[in-house]
Amino acid sequence: MKNIAILTGGDTEERVISLKSGQVVYDHLPKDQYNLYQIDIQGANWTHIGTGTSIDKNDFSLTLEGKKIQFDCVFAALHGSPFEDGKLQGYLEMMGLPYTCCNGYVSALTMSKHNTKMQLASLGIPMAKSQLLYRGQPVAAEELLQMGLPLFVKPNTHGSSFGVSKVKTPEDLLPAIEEAFRFDKEVLVEAFMPGREFSNGVLTVNGKTVVLPITEIIPEDEFFTFAAKYEGRAKEVTPAQLSPELTAQCQQRTAKIYEALGCKGVIRIDYILVGDTFYLLEPNTIPGISPASIVPQQANAYGWDLGTFFSLLIEEALRA
């Protein structure tokens, strides 16, 4: 049987989500097909969950009860740094280890909301107007307000809605920017788009792009906050109630973005539907994978249970 390292944990506020994701992968992957080991990545400490044994970084091996374990594949269940931002992928490639997510370049690119938008701008992907701010530089509030109110202020390279604010008045703008700078050295200020929010998962199976059913997100709060994502404060409808034409537009756009960015594994792309046009919000290259998360809902609607879905990701990584 193949030995699978499930990488989880991480160094950011998303750590708590990663640990839950890692446990879900461990619980659902078929134990008669894989030997599973959860590895907690925290700074320079890489340890096996359960025994606390350290990974040998010289060859990414684990020694348990005198037996050295070499891994066949790494399952990405770590949101945020140092995996979703691409830092770990180069090391894994040097070790000759396949992994279930995007490569280091694509991960680093998509971790930056601003850089992703710049990369996709030439493809005609509809997106909200935005401006990027840098910590320590003057903020031209009047110029930002020309985009209109409300505005969304968000850390540029951070996930799970940490530090995100919806600004409704000019007086709230600078405090919102300060809050976002608590989580990142770059902050994106984005024009508000009135519309319905949707999310669409996509992955590669046997070398072909497979787009999953679409989910509509109906948050109890004013936008898809941390509580809405992880504490049940949102209604999620999968598959979304859309016309065949709108469904096709969204899924075709999802496939186009996935392939244009050179993505691998499963990613989730978030949109706002304004009128009859899907506007890109952002791609998530290591999306949440708890049973209640959006992508697992979509996988189930497609006809896969979680064990099958996770196995497909491993087999595709091994095939590639």
Of the residues 85, 236, 282, 316, only one is catalytic, namely 282
Whether 26 sits among the annotated catalytic residues: the reply is: no
Of the residues 156, 165, 268, 293, only one is catalytic, namely 268
Q: Distance between CA 17 and CA 101 in Å, rounded?
A: 17
Whether 276 sits among the annotated catalytic residues: the reply is: no
Whether 315 sits among the annotated catalytic residues: the reply is: no
Of the residues 9, 10, 14, 103, only one is catalytic, namely 14
Whether 196 sits among the annotated catalytic residues: the reply is: no
- One-letter amino acid at 286 equals I
Of the residues 21, 288, 311, 316, only one is catalytic, namely 288
Whether 284 sits among the annotated catalytic residues: the reply is: yes
Of the residues 81, 112, 160, 165, only one is catalytic, namely 160
DSSP the chain: -EEEEEEEE-SSTTHHHHHHHHHHHHHHS-TTTEEEEEEEEETTEEEETTT-PBPBTTTTEEEETTEEEE-SEEEE---STTTTTSHHHHHHHHTT--BSS--HHHHHHHHSHHHHHHHHGGGT--B--EEEEETTS---HHHHHTT-SSEEEEETT--TTTT-EEE-SHHHHHHHHHHHHTT-SEEEEEE---SEEEEEEEEEETTEEEEEEEEEEEESSSS--HHHHHSS-EEEESS----HHHHHHHHHHHHHHHHHHT--S-EEEEEEEETTEEEEEEEESS---STTSHHHHHHHHHT--HHHHHHHHHHHHHH-
Of the residues 21, 107, 284, 311, only one is catalytic, namely 284
Of the residues 230, 253, 311, 316, only one is catalytic, namely 230
Whether 319 sits among the annotated catalytic residues: the reply is: no
Of the residues 86, 270, 271, 316, only one is catalytic, namely 270
What amino acid positions are annotated as catalytic residues?
A: 14, 160, 230, 268, 270, 282, 284, 288
